[in-house]
Chains A and B, each alone.
Chain A
Amino acid sequence: MAFLKRSPWILHYDASSCNGCDIEVLACLTPLYDVERFGIINTGNPKHADVFLITGGINEQNREVVKNIYEQMPEPKVVVAIGVCAASGGIFRECYNIVGGVDKVIPVDVYVPGCAARPEMIIDGVVTALGILEEKREKMAGAAQTKESARRAAGEST
């Protein structure tokens, strides 16, 4: 399986969740669920991360923060929105300070439902995201190869 071969590093940010999903994300890292056995490491540095796990809906003050973190992550990258708040705003949808789901600010690849999302579902979401990550990587590699051969072809003709 792709995720066993690779070692994806994840970055977690709490947009404006109630903490329920956050502690479940952390629970994934601890002995019972232990995602580190798949080589998944939780990092605090966006420049080291491949998978962006985000919980909670977007509010006025953190939309810039979320955008900033996303832009700092190197390509290819995938975003996993965890919990119903990250998908649509959830129970807080009608609050005056909530803009909505994460996809209002950055593109989301995988939505994990639930309030709070269970660790098993989070792991499943990350594994799905890794498939998408692999596709993106291949696409990038393909594009780079096309560019490279075009460059060579141009170089040979001159």
Chain B
Amino acid sequence: MTVNEEQTTISVALEDLTREVEALHAGGYRLVQIGCTDIGGAYEINYSFDKDYQYRNLRLTVGPDIEVPSISGIYWGAFVYENEMHDLFGIPVTGINIDFKGTFIRTAQKYPFSVTRRGGDPCRNA
């Protein structure tokens, strides 16, 4: 009984994010992960959902320092990913249910993945 896995990616605008996530929540999808990618001066945020191995990906592209609304009101467990997003990338996320305010993952250099981070290689042992 092998199930074929499918992955689909849809781009969403910042103002539609909450509505789209709510629709997926109502459709019985579970939150898989939220991850960011630096795409040269901006961030691509992937909100991934899954239902019976069918993978749906909402893709949001935001510039640096743009506030992103939290989806932890819809998916309670989203706080781990959103705090991570803030601590590693420096993306301000508003309204997280458990907001660690930058102490979830403490790093030597603030926001190591930030596109606006100044300085060269963050490695201290190169």
Contact = CB atoms under 8 A, between A and B. Distances in A.
**Interface residues of A, dominant DSSP:** loop
B125 A93 contact: yes
A60 B106 contact: yes
B125 A97 contact: no
B108 A99 contact: yes
Contacts of B122: 96
B112 A96 contact: yes
Nearest to B105: A61
**Interface residues of B, dominant DSSP:** loop
A96 to B, nearest CB: 4
B106 A100 contact: no
B126 A96 contact: no
Interface residues of A, number: 12
B124 interface: yes
Contacts of A59: 108
Given A96-B112, A97-B112, A89 B106 contact: no
B121 to A, nearest CB: 8
A64 to B, nearest CB: 11
Interface string A76-93: 000000000000010001
A100 B107 contact: no
B107 A99 contact: no
Nearest to B122: A96
A94 B107 contact: no
Interface of A: 59-61, 89, 93-100
25 contacts: A59-B108, A60-B107, A60-B108, A61-B106, A89-B125, A93-B123, A93-B125, A94-B123, A94-B125, A94-B126, A95-B123, A96-B107, A96-B108, A96-B109, A96-B112, A96-B123, A96-B124, A97-B108, A97-B112, A98-B124, A98-B125, A99-B108, A99-B124, A100-B124, A100-B125
